[in-house]
Each structure stands twice: as structure tokens, then as C-alpha cells.
Amino acid sequence: MLTVIAVMGTLAGALLTGALQYFAQRAQRKAQEAAERRSAGMDAVAALCAALADHRGAMWDAGLCQVTGRHSAQAGERVRGTRSAVTGPLVRVSLLSPSAAPVARRAAEAVYAMREATTTRELEAARAAAVRAETELVDAVHSTLTK
């Protein structure tokens, strides 16, 4: 009888130890996945901000050409190249941080809106709005990724 009790106690202990190990490993995996998602989200935002800054610079140059009447094929070509570079990081941010997707789109649209400027003053205001929108994006993603 004592042998049966000892065997049952050993089995119960082994079962409990196995269950505890399973839950500990599961928690560790979830924490690691969350850290990887945060890291990927931060990388995506950094890439989007860099692409937006490049596009903002290209839009500034093209806008100055348009406002001053100095049309430049090179400026237009640069705008097209930098605009297409925004797409990939914008999609990544939207997928990795869906709650920040609207803010990311507004940041991109703010840069795109620079093309509407008809004076240097409007161009400066549009550029300032684009910088503010990018800052709002960083703040929004930071708050969602650090929860």
C-alpha cells in the first residue's frame, strides 16, 4: 500500500513538474514573440520615417522648382523614386501595428500634400505639417508598441 502511495506521489510530482515547465516555456515564447513584434514594428517605423524624410526632401526640391518656374526633370524623377520607397515601409507599419495604420497614412499623405503648394510659404507650411505628422506617427507607434 505504501508503495502505491509512493508511486502515485512520484507520478503526481512528475505531472506537476511537466505542467509547470510547459506553462513556463509557453510564457517565455509569448514574451519573446512580443519582443520580436515590437522590434519589427520599430524597424518598420524607422524605415517609414526615413522614406518619408527622403520623399519630403524630394518634394521640397520639386516644389521649389515649381514655385520658381524652374522645371527640373531630375527633381520629378527623384520624387517618383522616393515616393515608391514609401510604400513598403507604410505597408509594414500598417500590418505590424494596425492601430497606427491611420496615423501612418496621414503622415504619408501630409508629405504627398506638399505637391499642392503654389508659393514658397505654402511649401514651408506643408513641409512643417509633414514633419508634425511624422512626429505623431512615431508617438502613436511608440505608445502601441510599449503596452
Question: Which CATH number characterizes residue 107's domain?
Answer: 1.20.1440
Residue 105 belongs to some domain of the structure: yes
Residue 116 belongs to some domain of the structure: yes
Determine the structural domain holding residue 115 and report its residue range: 36-145
Give the DSSP H or E segment for 71: none
Residue 29 belongs to some domain of the structure: no
CA distance 49 to 2: 70
pLDDT tens digits, one per residue of 81-118: 999 999 999 999 999 888 889 999 999 999 999 999 99
Residue 4 belongs to some domain of the structure: no
63: left (phi over 0), alpha (psi -120 to 50) or beta: alpha
- Total domain count for the chain? 1
CA distance 41 to 96: 6
DSSP codes, 84-97? HHHHHHHHHHHHH-
pLDDT tens digits, one per residue of 39-55: 888 899 999 999 999 99
| Closest CA relative to residue 77, chosen from 60, 62, 56 | 62
